[in-house]
């Protein structure tokens, strides 16, 4: 029986983390697994402090998802949360991609 490919293996191999925010590789994987319950995605562009999510299905409640994403990855917002969250939501809906990074 073939073992199912672990989409999170590259995160472990690269030791992707948000150490500046006390977020470990395990924390990132746990959060992404939680998101898998509400949407479907693959990952790409994995590096030591970043990962890109490529969505095949988006969460039904994009507002709640974006709020959670910003809490999980504060670097998604540069200055003004009220101005940037609608832009982030529109970009996600159009591109079906979300780049997460922790500087």
Which pLDDT does position 95 carry in this prediction? 98
d(CA 39, CA 55): 7
- Where exactly are the structural domains of the chain? 9-101
Give the model's pLDDT for residue 1: 47
Q: Distance between CA atoms of 88 and 35, rounded to whole angstroms?
A: 17
Q: What would the two tokens of residue 77 be?
A: 């917002």
- The dihedral of CA 77, 45, 7, 42: what is its sign? positive
Q: Are 76 and 69 in contact (CB under 8 A)?
A: yes
Q: What is the pLDDT of residue 103?
A: 87
Check residue 5 and give its pLDDT.
74
What pLDDT score was predicted for residue 9?
96
Residue at token pair 């997460």: 100
- Cα–Cα distance for residue pair 53/40, rounded to 1 Å: 9
**pTM for this prediction:** 0.92
At residue 17, φ and ψ (nearest 5 deg) are -155, 170
Q: What is the pLDDT along the chain (103 residues), one digit of tens a residue?
A: 445 579 999 999 999 999 999 999 999 999 999 999 999 999 999 999 999 999 999 999 999 999 999 999 999 998 998 999 999 999 999 999 999 999 8
């Amino acid at each position: 029986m073939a073992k199912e490919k672990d989409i999170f293996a590259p995160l472990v191999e690269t030791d992707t983390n948000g150490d500046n925010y006390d977020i470990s590789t395990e924390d990132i994987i746990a959060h992404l697994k939680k998101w898998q319950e509400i949407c479907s995605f693959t990952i790409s562009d994995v590096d030591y402090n970043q990962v890109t999510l490529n969505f095949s299905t988006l969460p039904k409640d994009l507002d709640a998802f974006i709020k959670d994403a910003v809490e999980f990855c504060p670097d998604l917002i540069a200055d003004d949360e009220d101005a940037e969250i609608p832009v982030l939501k529109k970009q996600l809906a159009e591109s079906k991609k979300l780049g997460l990074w922790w500087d």
